[in-house]
Amino acid sequence: MGLLDNLLTLHRVDAQVRALRTRVDSAQTYFNRQERELALLAKQRTDLETQLKQLKAVVHGFETDQAAAQERVAKLRNELNTSTNPKQYQAILNEMKVLENQKDDVVKRAVEEMTRAEETQKRIDLHAATVAERTKVRDLAKAKLDECLKDVGDRLGELEQERRRAADLIPDRERKVFDRVAEETEGEAMADITIVSLRHREFACGSCNIEVPFETYAKLSSTSDALIQCKACTRILYLSEESRSASSEEKPKRAKAPAAGAAAAAGGDPDSPEAIARDKAKFEKTRKL
């Protein structure tokens, strides 16, 4: 097996490893997002509970003040009943009036704070429902991730071993080139050479369509031990079996061409000016890409 055959084997296994890893990664990413969402909700819950606690403390403060004021009013009422001195009587009456006025204000503010506390409690209840929903989604994501890990785990282990075996057959320098290109192209490290026109010695990179020089094609036709990268997309170029057989078929076709007069009229002769123009146009088009 030549270098390019070994690189193609590595490429095939590498692509499978990448596909499986992508599956696991996306399940993991989805699960992580659900976890983050729940952590955020837990933080919001703590904030709401702190708010509620503070509001309840304020309401309790008002209630205590109010109870003390009521006690004082009861005491003053007693004093009022037993008072004989008109001046003292008026003083008690004045204090009671002040306390009554204060009471109205305290009650109003207590009601406001209680309303806020109730609203906060409602938000906590709604929040709990959201947390329950999100927890269900998170649990589902966890189950999917576990299932994915179970499915993929064994197969990934096998493939990674296979990948190491394939990589071991390739010399260090070439393997590093492959790894770098595979990383840059997300696993698309190899590109088949497209034969645009064998007769006009026009070839293109099967991946990015940029022109490939005839020398590259000639080299890869004669040996499978050369590592040549596309000048534009850096992919490692190779000749597929299809391209090899296409190039060997072209020769007999050309030999038959003069006899194929009818085919030429129909535009089927590869040597006809129309065919040449077509080839040329196709090549020009790919060159612009």
Positions touching Zn ion (CB under 5 A) are 205, 207-208, 230, 232-233
Choice between 168 and 184, CB closer to Zn ion:
184
Residues 170 and 4: beta-carbon distance below 8 Å:
no
Minimum gap (Å) between residue 202 Cβ and Zn ion: 15
Minimum gap (Å) between residue 282 Cβ and Zn ion: 17
Minimum gap (Å) between residue 216 Cβ and Zn ion: 11
Q: What gap in Å lies between CA 35 and CA 142, rounded to an integer? A: 10
Please give the angle made by the CA atoms of 146, 151 and 156, to the nearest 5 degrees.
Answer: 110
Q: What gap in Å lies between CA 130 and CA 214, rounded to an integer? A: 65
Choice between 44 and 286, CB closer to Zn ion:
286
Residues 13 and 124: beta-carbon distance below 8 Å:
no
Q: What gap in Å lies between CA 161 and CA 144, rounded to an integer? A: 25
Choice between 196 and 230, CB closer to Zn ion:
230
Minimum gap (Å) between residue 235 Cβ and Zn ion: 5
Choice between 62 and 203, CB closer to Zn ion:
203
Residues 144 and 27: beta-carbon distance below 8 Å:
yes
